Amino acid sequence: MRKWVIYILSLFLVACEEVVIVDLPDSEGLLVVEGWIYNQEGPQEVQLSRSVPFYSSSSPTAISDAVVFINDNFGNSYLLTETSPGVYHTDSSVMGILGRLYSLEIQIDERRYRSDFERLKNVPVIDSIAFGSEFVRDPDNPFQEILEYFPIAFVDEPDSEADYYRWKVYQNGVLFNEPEDIVLQTDRFINGNAFQNELKEFRFNPQDSVSIELLSLTRESYDFFRLFVRQTTDLGTASGTSPAILRGNIRNEDNPNEDVIGYFGASAITSSYKIVQE
Amino acid sequence: MRRLLGTSILLLWLNLLGFSQAPKQLILQKSSYSIKSLFRELNNNYNLEFAFSNNVVNLKSTYIPSNSKISLEELLKELAKQNNLDFEINGQTIYLRHRKKTESRLVTISGIIKDKFNGEALIGAHVTIEGSTQGVTSNTYGFYSLSLPAGNYKLQATYTGYNDLSASVDLRANSKYDFVMEEQVSRLKEVVVTAREPDANVIDVIPGKNVLHFKSEGDIPYFLGEVDVLQGSLLLPGINNLGEDSNGINVRGGSADQNLILLDEATIYNASHFYGLISVFNPESVNDVEILKGSIPSQYGGRISSVINIRQKEGNNKEFHMAGGIGLVAARLTLEGPIKKDKSSFLIAGRRSILNLAIRNADFNNIGNNRANFEDFNFKVNLKPNEKNRLYVSGYYGNDRNETGFETFRRWGNRTLTFRWNRLLSEKLFSNFSVILSQYSYRVTDLREAGSFFGTSRIINYDTKLDYSYFLNPNNKFNFGAGTGLIRLNPGDRLPLPTSGSTNPVQLDTEHGFNSFLYANHETRVSRLKLAYGFRVSSLHNIGAGDVYVYDSEIRSTDNIIDTVSYNTKEVIKSYIGFEPRIAANVQLNSSMSIKASYNRNYQYLHLISNTISPAPTDIWKISDTYIKPTRADQYSIGLFKNFKNNEIETYVDFYYQDLNNILEYKTNADLLLNETIETEIISGTGRSYGLELMAKKSYGSLQGWVSYSLSRTERKVQGPAPELTINDGKYFPANSDQTHQFSCTGLYSLSERLSGSANFIFSTGRPITLPSDKFEFNDIIIPHFTERNQDRLPNYHRLDLSLKLQGRKVKKNGKIKKRIDYWTFSVYNVYARKNAFSYLFRESEVNPGQTEIVKYSILPTAIPAITYNFRL
């Protein structure tokens, strides 16, 4: 809440940002896992990569030729096949089922990794979308104001306690995907109520199509995303916490001290769609 | 005396016209005399006349002079000692009499040392007996007491910035004497870190003490032309903060909540306005600020790092005055005057920000939607119903407000009320009884319709205490006392507003802590050794009603709660008791040099729960409970203190080592907001801190100032039973407040009668940070991977500030003296526009997508000029 830049008289006080080159610690080349199973038609996707030095000009290295399975608590096991370097898919028939537990199993060379079991939790439907609007200064003409629209989503939150959600917002089919666009929510203050979420940070113009998804999270995946958001938005401000390793729920079965980054989660999705009318 | 003469049997005299002055130097012819022959020779050669009763002197006894050339005084002293006599010189006549038997009886002289102009008590002024090194220092209320054998004395009162004041007293019975001292006019009237008596640096027994003295006019402006109580302290060795945008100060590496900040004895929980840019104390109402960082006397306790004691002015009890000023940040107004002349006075001060500090959120470009402002009020009243009693009532009320998008309103601030009753029980026994209330609260109102809510958190404490000072004699002083108080802590409520359709109320249980202490301290002096030793026994009872969760292992999490124990109202949930020895010693090597050493232990029972780099106004406090143990600190220090040029230059070098236990650290990703099981987010660590501090200061002359340097290391160690309870594999790592080098230099120069200038330069090692080694991708976002905590540092910080003060004309054109005193200050912060790093940001390049870069983020990277106008009527 305190990402402040002091702005008393703009003439005097302007914070400044300047690119610098800093000596960094040696690269660790860590395994990074990102995988989700949704209650939607497959294929379900898992990505495996290895971190690269911070200043490296290449993107993280894809890990190929790994053996990857998604297992559930009913004894089902689904093999994933590599469709492009580091990207593994199930059959398109594989679909997560509400209430089941899922886990990821990976073998890379001789090393075996396994995630904790994640429950695929239910998610309420988005009843409707409405729009709010606000006058803001026109970026092209500072003497003029224009009207911007933001969506408001209406949801009936179920009575069950400790529900966690993530919101995704798409503009004309494109996901808002900057770190600050990751909207997380707990039902701690709204449990069992009909509520409306004003997604004020997402701005639209007339005739834009707005699509909103609501995803269920477990407490663990919610915590992981919360750390993810803190690490990508707050660091370096007075309200930031100390940087931390983004450990998720995946472990090396033989060497629990190996740092593995990332998460394997299960999630149910509901969505709604509307066009912005003037 | 004249009567003695009348009955005298023997008169030795030669010259009746003895108007000439007694000779200073005598030359004695013989190596041995009878008293009779001695008197005769002195009479013959120097016209000295001795007068005494017949049985006083045995004229046949022998006297052997220690030297053939001897001063009259010395000779008389030798004679007096040998024959148990008293003497008095009056022109050419010397009166001799028996030394009184009653002389072994001690009589006490006591009183108040105060300012002549406004009647304000002078704290820490020194009263010495001329011709001896004995003396006492006035206490917080300006009271002093000296117990001496009956006799004639010449007492001298000294206080930096004031003319020395002498008084001849004939002490026969207990008596009262007030020293009314006059301020020096020739000196620069600037704030200077000053020890109180001119040689306090050397003779004071407490090491690691600094005092900032605020004068009625003209101080060093630190930021935007504002004089500031806490910003000023950052120029002292061993005191730093975490950058321009950070709340609170760090003393010898301690965290911000480890400073006991007292305003007229009431605890201030958050000492900052504007997110740390300026402090909550209106400089016009502050008399002085005492910072105790090395050795904490036993009357203070409850925080482990330092005591910052801010004392408000009492108000002028002679005449009415109004003072005020206006600058870029705030406008101030102070009224003071007598209620009943010389008996009682009042002071009221107010301050308000004049520009809404518009604050821009770095991520969103909605400038102007976020506003901040502040206000504060102080008052103090003192009444003197009679010579033995004095009453003080003082208070503070302050708020910071912040408004986001016209929908979210936040307000936070401190309130205090102090009632004190000074009573002189006897000439030697001074007592003070205080009743203190202090509160800090935070509230937020969010009007966004369906989700609208009102949130609040609050801490209040009610304290009473009784302090005694017993001045046995100039070499022995005792302080003792006791106190008790109740802390009521409401960690947070979040309640729906009537317009809210979707919000559920959340209310955390109120915590209660019952806090008591007892202390005793003896200050004594044996030859060159001064010793202040004592103890404090403190206790905390965390009392119900409340629920305590029971966990099935040391690794607490909400998943392993196996039971809940409920406690009724007033039932003790957990209690702690701590014994805190305190000792400080001063060995005076000579009149200008001493060695000081100290050891003290402190317990802290109240903790600020904050895992951000700098504490936020929203952070809540926590009373030690079943799981969160009191923090303990043991500090050892030793230093050499030396003054030069007749106390014009004070210097010291001080070493310290601190050992810390049960320091609060937080799990990665801790969620501290409205958390009922906060103990699941907190981990416990230990720490150590050590360093060396140097300071040299000149507080006389047209050029004044000081230079300070510190070399230090502050480390933490967190080794828990599980990886999530361990930081950096359980190794020592630098704390956020660790600062290897800190150098500062402050100078004030008086250019002319009306014009003076000041300059501050500060240099320090950058704060520890954690750097990334790798980058990876998750959710299509590039993220840095960080290694061990705090292994690297930001670049060095340095800055120069300049200011100029122009005094208005004191005399009108027609030659009359102006009633209004006024002055302007012009200042420039960060003169050479150094882009000091507040932090590094690690992010994807905007120009080169896919590439990551490190960005140095500077908060005040330009030179910032400011102007203020101040007046006094």
CATH number at residue B171: 2.60.40.1120
Please indicate if any CB of chain A lies within 8 Å of the CB of B328: yes
Tell me the DSSP string of B757-787: EEEEEEEEPPPEE--EEEEEEETTEEEEEE-
A47 and A117 assigned to the same domain: yes
Cβ separation B853–A19 shorter than 8 A: yes
Residue A131 shares a structural domain with residue A214: yes
Residue A7's CB: how many other CB atoms inside 10 A? Answer: 20
- Pairing of the two strands B408-424 and B511-526: unpaired
The CA distance from A224 to B474, in Å, is 66
Same domain flag for A145 and A163: yes
Q: Give pLDDT, residue A7.
A: 40
- 3-class DSSP state of B192: strand
| Residues in contact with B132: Cβ distance below 8 Å, sequence separation at least 6, in sequence order | none
Q: What total number of domains does chain A contain?
A: 2
Predicted complex ipTM: 0.91
* Cβ atoms < 10 Å from Cβ of B752: 9
**Do A94 and A131 belong together in one domain?**
no
Does residue B618 sit within a domain?
Answer: yes
Same-domain pairing of A116 and A131: no
Residues B667 and B707 in one domain: yes
> Would B253 be classed as within a structural domain?
no
Contacts A239 to B, Cβ<8 Å: 612-614, 616
Could you tell me if residue A238 is inside a domain?
A: no
Mean of the per-residue pLDDT values of chain A:
88
pLDDT at B6: 36
Cross-chain Cβ contact A227/B668 below 8 Å: yes
Chain B residues touching residue A130 (CB < 8 angstroms): none
- pLDDT value for B812: 77
Residues 6 or more apart in contact with residue B211 via CB below 8 angstroms:
B124, B193, B194, B195, B196, B288, B289, B290, B291
Q: Are B681 and B563 within one domain?
A: yes
Domain count, chain B: 3
Nearest CA-CA partner of B313 in B267, B347, B280: B347
Written as six digits, the tokens of A236 are 């370096």
User: Cβ contacts (< 8 Å) between A8 and chain B: which residues?
Assistant: 224, 328-329, 355, 357-358
**Do B331 and B470 have their domain in common?**
yes
Assign residue B370 the CATH number of its domain.
Answer: 2.40.170.20
Is the Cβ of B677 closer than 8 Å to some Cβ of chain A?
A: no
Q: What letters, b where the CB count within 10 A reaches 16 and e where it falls short, cover A226-265?
A: bbbbbbbbbbbbbbbbbbbbbbbbbbbeeeeeeebbbbbb
pLDDT of residue B305: 92
> Which of B184, B194, B196, B69 is closest to B136 using CA atoms?
B196
Is the pLDDT score of A12 beyond 50? no
User: Which helix (H) or strand (E) covers residue A135, if one does?
Assistant: strand A126-137
- Check residue B631 and give its pLDDT: 96
Four-point Cα dihedral B230, B233, B234, B238, nearest 10: -130
Please state whether beta strands A31-38 and B755-764 pair in parallel, antiparallel, or not at all (unpaired): unpaired
- Which among A25, A196, A241 has CB closest to B450? A196
B661 touches chain A (CB under 8 A): no
**B395 vs B566: CA distance, rounded Å:** 38
Task: Read off the DSSP letter of residue B316.
Answer: -
| CA-angle at B672, arms to B671 and B677, nearest 5° | 90
pLDDT digits 0-9 by tens, B16-47? 333 445 566 788 888 888 888 888 888 888 88
Residue A26 lies inside a defined structural domain of this protein: no
- Residue contact A240–B367, C-beta within 8 A: no
| DSSP H or E segment with residue B232 | helix B229-233
Q: How far apart are CA B733 and CA B738, in angstroms?
A: 10
Question: Is position A234 within any domain?
Answer: no
Residue B520 belongs to some domain of the structure: yes
Query: Do A135 and A94 lie in a common domain?
Result: no
Q: Are residues B598 and B700 in the same domain?
A: yes
Q: Which of B99, B126, B146 is the last residue of a domain?
A: B99
- The answer as to whether A229 is a domain residue is no
| φ and ψ of B544, to 5 deg | -75, 180
Residue A82 belongs to domain spanning? 31-121+245-267
How many angstroms separate the CA of residue B277 from the nearest CA in chain A? 10
Binding-face residues of B in 829-848 toward A, CB within 8 A = 835, 838-842
Which of A17, A27, A175 is the mutation pick for testing B, counting most B CBs within 10 A? A17
Given a contact cutoff of 8 angstroms between Cβ atoms, the answer to whether B402 and B424 are in contact is no
Taking the CA of residue B571 as centre, how many other CA atoms within 13 Å lie in the half-sphere pointing to its CB?
11
State residue B12's pLDDT score. 34
CA gap B183, B164 in Å, rounded:
9
Q: With an 8 Å Cβ cutoff, are A9 and B328 in contact?
A: yes
Write out the DSSP string of A161-190: SS-EEEEEEEETTEE--SGGG-EEEESTTT
Q: How far is A227 from chain B (nearest CA, A)?
A: 6
User: Which amino acid, B208?
Assistant: G
pLDDT at A179: 87
Q: Residue B8: give its domain's CATH number.
A: 3.55.50.30
B857 touching A, CB under 8 A? yes
| pLDDT for the residue A1 | 32
Amino acid B13: pLDDT: 35
| Interatomic CA distance for residues B277 and A35, integer angstroms | 45
Residue B447 to residue B503: CA distance in whole angstroms: 12
Mean pLDDT, rounded, for A168-190 = 91
CATH code of A100's domain: 2.60.40
Q: Residue B245: list chain A partners with CB under 8 A.
A: 2, 4, 6, 238
Q: Does A135 touch chain B (CB under 8 A)?
A: no
Position B258 in a domain: no
Do both A138 and A199 map to the same domain?
yes
Residue B593 in domain? yes
Paired strand residues for B127: B136, B157
| Contacting residues of B for A180, CB less than 8 Å apart | 363
Residue B481: name the closest of B496, B463, B508 by CA.
B463
Residue B491 resides in a domain: yes
Cβ partners under 8 Å of residue B55, min gap 6: none
In sequence order, what are the residues at sequence separation of 6 or more whose Cβ sits closer than 8 angstroms to the Cβ of residue A41? A92, A93, A95
Question: For chain A, what is the total number of helices (H) and then of strands (E)?
Answer: 1, 22
What is the residue range of B40's domain?
2-99
Among residues B519, B524, B470, B382, which one has the least CA distance to residue B143?
B470
* Buried-state track B236-267, b at ≥16 Cβ within 10 A, e below 16: bbbbbbbbbbbbbbbbbbbbbbbbbbbbbbbb
CB–CB of B804/B759 below 8 Å? no
Is the domain of A81 the same as that of A214? no
Per-residue pLDDT, B259: 93
User: Where is pLDDT greater, at B611 or A213?
Assistant: A213
Question: Which amino acid belongs to residue A62?
Answer: A
Domain assignment present for A250: yes
| pLDDT score of B221 | 63
Higher per-residue pLDDT: B591 or A68: A68
- The reply to whether A111 falls in a domain is yes
Partners of residue A57 in chain B, C-beta under 8 Å: 851
Would you say B760 and B746 are in contact if contact means Cβ atoms under 8 Å apart?
A: yes
Chain B CB contacts of A242 under 8 Å are: 611, 613, 736, 770, 789-790
Contact (CB, 8 A) for B380 and B393:
yes
Q: Could you give the 3-state DSSP secondary structure of residue B103?
A: helix
pLDDT at A39: 93
**Block mean pLDDT (10 aa), chain B, length 873:** 37 37 74 84 84 77 81 82 79 77 69 83 82 77 83 83 82 84 59 56 77 58 73 85 81 92 93 83 85 89 92 87 87 91 90 68 45 89 87 94 81 95 88 95 84 90 94 88 96 85 86 95 89 95 91 87 92 95 92 92 94 85 94 95 86 94 90 88 93 88 87 94 87 93 89 85 92 92 90 93 86 78 88 90 84 87 86 86
Same domain for B635 and B727: yes
Spell out which residues of chain A touch residue B359, defining contact as CB-CB under 8 Å: 4-7
Same domain, B327 and B397: yes
- pLDDT of B220 reads 64
Give the C-alpha separation, B493 to B501, whole Å.
18
Task: Tell me whether residues A24 and B772 touch, CB distance under 8 A.
Answer: yes
Same domain, B445 and B510: yes
Q: How far is B251 from chain A (nearest CA, A)?
A: 19
Could you tell me where the beta strands, DSSP code E, fall in B527-570?
529-543, 546-551, 561-567
Q: 3-class secondary structure for B63-85?
A: ECCCCCEEEHHHHHHHHHHHHCE
Chain B residues within 8 A of A189 when measuring between CB atoms: 451, 453, 494, 503-504, 506
Which candidate in B619, B669, B852 is best for mutational testing of the A interface (most A CBs within 10 A)?
B669
The pLDDT of A231-257, averaged and rounded, is 85
Shared domain for B464 and B539, answered yes or no, is yes
Domain-embedded: residue B538: yes
Question: Which residues of chain A are within 8 Å of residue B842 when distances are taken between CB atoms?
Answer: 54, 235-236
Residue B220, domain member (yes or no): no
Q: Please check whether residues A141 and A203 belong to one and the same domain.
A: yes
Is the CB of residue B506 less than 8 Å away from at least one CB of chain A? yes
Total count of residues recorded for chain B: 873
Residues of B in contact with A85 (CB under 8 A): none
Give the pLDDT confidence of B535-559 residue by residue, as tens digits: 999 999 999 888 999 999 888 888 8
Nearest to A6 by CA among B830, B399, B443, B406: B830
Those of residues 344-363 in B touching chain A at CB distance below 8 A are: 355, 357-363
Could you tell me how many residues make up chain A?
Answer: 278
Say yes or no: A179 and A44 in one domain: no
CB contact under 8 A, B842 and A136: no
User: Residues with Cβ < 8 Å from A11, sequence gap 6 or more?
Assistant: none
Longest dimension (CA), chain B: 116
Instruction: State both tokens at B486.
Output: 């109740």
How many whole angstroms separate alpha carbon A147 and alpha carbon A205? 8
CA distance B275 to chain A (A): 9
For residue A215, being part of any structural domain is answered with: yes
Pairs across A and B, CB distance < 8 A: 250
Give residues 209 to 238 of A whose Cβ lies within 8 Å of B.
223, 226-228, 230-233, 235-238
The answer to whether B228 and B241 have CB atoms below 8 angstroms apart is no
The DSSP element (H or E) to which A101 belongs, if any, is: strand A101-108
Phi and psi based region of residue B488 (left: phi greater than 0; alpha: psi -120 to 50; beta: remaining): beta
Give the closest of B329, B360, B781 to A179, CB-based.
Answer: B781
Note whether B60 and B170 are same-domain residues: no
Position A87 in a domain: yes
Measured between alpha carbons, how far is B783 from B842 in angstroms, rounded to an integer? 8
HSE-up of residue B303 (Cα within 13 Å, Cβ side): 24
Cβ distance B91 to B21 under 8 Å?
A: yes
Which residues in chain A are closer than 8 Å to B361, comparing Cβ atoms? 3-5
**Contact with chain B for residue A180, Cβ under 8 A:** yes
**A186 interfaces chain B, CB cutoff of 8 Å:** no
A80 contact B CB<8A: no
Say if CB A155 and CB A192 are below 8 A apart: no
How far is the alpha carbon of A224 from chain B, nearest alpha carbon, in Å? 8
Chain A, nearest residue to B790 by Cα: A242
Query: Which residue, B154, B181, B208, sits at the end of a domain?
Result: B181
Distance CA B485, CA B439 (A): 13
Q: Are residues A90 and A168 in the same domain?
A: no
**Do B722 and B624 reside in the same domain of the chain?**
yes
Backbone phi, then psi, for B368, in 5-degree steps? 90, -15
The better pLDDT of the pair B328, A204 is held by A204
Domain boundary among B112, B146, B181: B181
- Same domain assignment for residues B692 and B721: yes
- Given this model, what pLDDT does residue B182 score? 84
- Cross-chain CB nearest to A25 (options B612, B616, B773): B773
Kindly report the number of other CB atoms within 10 A of residue B103's CB atom. 13
Q: Is there a single domain that holds both residue A74 and residue A114?
A: yes
Q: Which residue's entry shows tokens 């990402």? A: A3
